[in-house]
Amino acid sequence: MFARTTELADLAVEDRAVLRARAYAAIASIPPVFATTTAAALHGLPLVNDDEKTHVIAATDRPGSGYGVVRHRGHLVEDDVTEIGGLRCSSLSRTLADLARTTSREHAVSAMDAALRRVAFRAPGTYDGDAADGFKQTILAEVGPTSVGRARARWVVAFADGRSQLPGESISRLRLHELGFATPSLQVPVAGPRGCTYWIDFGLDDVDAWGEFDGKTKYDDRAMTGRQTAREVVEKEKRREDWIRGVTKRTLVRWGWGDITNAASLGRRLAAFGVTPC
């Protein structure tokens, strides 16, 4: 199966994973059941990294992995299989359990947060804790008491929070945890001028500060900015920040992808503004 490079250039990593799955399904002699990161892409979950492999569940008597395909040994009961767009893959809860067991914390938490947001987040700013807890129990049941990586999975499930809006926010929470900050408040409302409400990504309440993850999308994606130019968005953000600092008397620190590659990077960014864990 072939595709022109120019047609792939602008695709997100999730879309590329789905495209690879469709190509493999078209040529496979046995209809595949996609798993782990490939299943996550089919479910519309974010992939913070992509190994450019297609992941499937295969019976133990099947041959080993081939070029570009990773076969995970195992068995799925019918309830663990779903169909999305004509492709079969592990169910959402099974996919999340497998990601939590086998992938990095950054990857697993980002996917788990996104799934919980669908289940439990209600705009504007309402989070259904009971729905989130119920979904987490469903995922833990998929992990099982004897699964490899179960301790890692339980940690990921406990840490996950659907109030994180983007993978960058999920990874930021991980870095704050690694730095020793207390669990931050998420999506904190601050009353703005003329009856509006400003929402802040992180309330670092233990150090009396605010934190914001600054994704490139905020300035470049016209769908997110309401057709405003990047300059207009920046000016609006500056007015918003000035208001928040003036009203709350708290330091507000912004950071981006380059600051969350590891905990030390984010620590240096925060320390430059006098924000350090207690």
At 88, the pLDDT band (50, 70, 90 cuts) reads: very high
Written as one letter, the residue type at 233 is V
Question: Helices in 78-163 by DSSP H: which ranges?
Answer: 92-102, 105-120, 129-143, 150-159
Q: How many residues does the chain have?
A: 278
DSSP 159-179: H--TT--SHHHHHHHHHHHHH
What pLDDT, on a 0 to 100 scale, did the predictor assign at position 223?
A: 44
In the chain, the percentage of residues whose pLDDT exceeds 90 is 73
Q: Work out the percent of the chain whose per-residue pLDDT is above 70.
A: 92
d(CA 136, CA 158): 8
In tens, the pLDDT along 154-184 reads 999 999 999 999 999 999 999 999 999 999 9
- First-to-last alpha carbon distance for the chain, in angstroms, is 55
What average pLDDT does range 40-58 have in this prediction?
Answer: 94
pLDDT surpasses 60 at 234: yes
Tens digit of pLDDT for each residue in 11-34? Answer: 999 999 999 999 999 999 889 999
- Give the pLDDT mean for 204-214: 96
Integer Cα distance of 236 and 246 in angstroms: 15
Instruction: Give yes or no for a contact between 39 and 95, defined as CB atoms under 8 angstroms apart.
Output: yes
pTM of the complete model: 0.90
Beta bridge partners of 165: none
Q: How far apart are CA 40 and CA 111, in angstroms?
A: 8
